[in-house]
Amino acid sequence: MPPDEYQNKTDEELAQSVLKDANALVVLIRRYESRLLSYIRRISGSSVEDAEDILQESFMDAYKHIANFDPSLKFSSWIYRIVHNRTISAYRKKKKEMGDMSIDADDDAFKRMMAAGDDTARMADQNLTAEMVGKILKQLSERDRNVLVLAYMEEKTYDEISDILRAPPGTVATWIRRAKQKFQKSAEQFELANKII
């Protein structure tokens, strides 16, 4: 059983304790399990079972390479990086077709995604549903989708996304700006296609 004192420690302190006591990792896993599962499903459209497999392998990787954790980084950025790489790798390896993006209309993340457009009034007019947003995200390139999900659904800052994707913060800002433009364009085309149908 992890000691009670672990509950009061920060993620970074726990990460540095893992080599001495693996139970510190159990506390970290409890803290991150559900949000990382959502993240995996958002970027890959995988089923719950597949997402759990990926997450389990990711935590195993994290444990094996815990000595690589840089305390000057946030633990969340580090674990997101591992999960991100595992997810991408799993889907490239299996060459699986992406499942539908998992987005819930009541999800605050969906609302933030809607607000990502430059013209929120125009976005509101388009009456995009969560299902439509999921389909639009699925059409975007892997990188565009990843940065939008991290920025608006996972609410990561540019610095955190930089640490997760291992890219300069300025480059991340450019990627996000371009991804938003593509999202907006795809949303307009999607809306138009739906009206014709």
How far is C-alpha 66 from the geometric centre of its chain's CA atoms? 21
* Total number of residues shown for the chain: 197
Q: Where are the alpha helices (DSSP H) in 65-168?
A: 75-94, 108-114, 120-125, 130-139, 142-148, 158-165
178 CB neighbour count, 10 Å cutoff: 14
Listed residue (169, 164, 172, 166) closest to 144, CA to CA: 172
3-state helix, strand, coil in the chain (%, to 5): 75, 0, 25
* In the complex, minimum distance from the CB of residue 181 to other proteins, in angstroms, rounded to a whole number: 22
Q: Which stretch binds other proteins (CB under 8 A): 63-71, 83-91, 101-109, 119-127?
A: 63-71
Per-residue interface string for the shown chain with other proteins, residues 138-167, x marking contact by CB under 8 A: ------------------------x---xx
11 is a contact residue toward other proteins (CB under 8 A): no
181 is a contact residue toward other proteins (CB under 8 A): no
What CA–CA distance (Å, rounded) separates 68 from 105?
38
8 is a contact residue toward other proteins (CB under 8 A): no
Listed residue (95, 100, 69, 72) closest to 82, CA to CA: 69
64 is a contact residue toward other proteins (CB under 8 A): yes
Q: Which of 9, 11, 12, 63 binds other proteins (CB under 8 A)?
A: 63
How far is C-alpha 72 from the geometric centre of its chain's CA atoms? 21
Q: Identify which of residues 48 and 115 has a Cβ nearer to other proteins in the complex.
A: 48
Q: Which of 14, 15, 17, 18 binds other proteins (CB under 8 A)?
A: 18
Q: Identify which of residues 17 and 184 has a Cβ nearer to other proteins in the complex.
A: 17
Q: Identify which of residues 65 and 143 has a Cβ nearer to other proteins in the complex.
A: 65
Q: Which stretch binds other proteins (CB under 8 A): 19-27, 85-93, 113-121, 175-183?
A: 19-27
What CA–CA distance (Å, rounded) separates 123 from 127?
7
Residues that bind other proteins (CB under 8 A): 18-19, 22-23, 25-26, 29-30, 33, 52, 55-56, 59-60, 63-68, 70, 72, 162, 166-171
